[in-house]
Amino acid sequence: MIEDKKPDYMAMIDKAWELSNLVRECVKKEGREVPIQEAVETYFLPSGLIDIDKTNKESGSPPKVFFTNPYGLQYRPEHKDWIPFRHGPV
């Protein structure tokens, strides 16, 4: 029997939340706001999840960081944090 391997969307969204929470914890620990560029360079890029080309082309305002999977993180200026969003097909 051939098993149909489906993408693990829950694991993808969990990883997005992990990165979001990492930045939130660093803000709390350091007692200062982490600027957007610093969050991208220090936390998001090293994760290996970022689609750099798509992020550079489509980030917009408020900023978005696109993952190579159907998810990403969007900055919420009113809360000064990042939350997951889905940019791929459902």
Whether residue 57 contacts residue 65, with contact meaning beta carbons closer than 8 Å, is answered with no
Would you state the pLDDT for residue 50? Answer: 94
The answer to whether residue 3 scores a pLDDT higher than 70 is no
Cβ atoms of residues 65 and 44 within 8 Å = yes
In a domain, 43, yes or no: yes
Could you read off the pLDDT of 13-40 as tens digits, one per residue?
999 999 999 999 988 998 888 888 898 9
Are 19 and 25 in contact by the 8 Å Cβ rule? The answer is no
* 33 falls within a domain: yes
Q: Is residue 62 included in any domain, yes or no?
A: yes
Specify the number of domains making up the chain: 1
Mean per-residue pLDDT over the chain, rounded: 90
Structure tokens at 27: 């803000």
Domain-located, residue 3: no
Is 26 exposed, middle or buried, given 0-12, 13-18 or 19+ CB atoms closer than 10 A?
Answer: middle
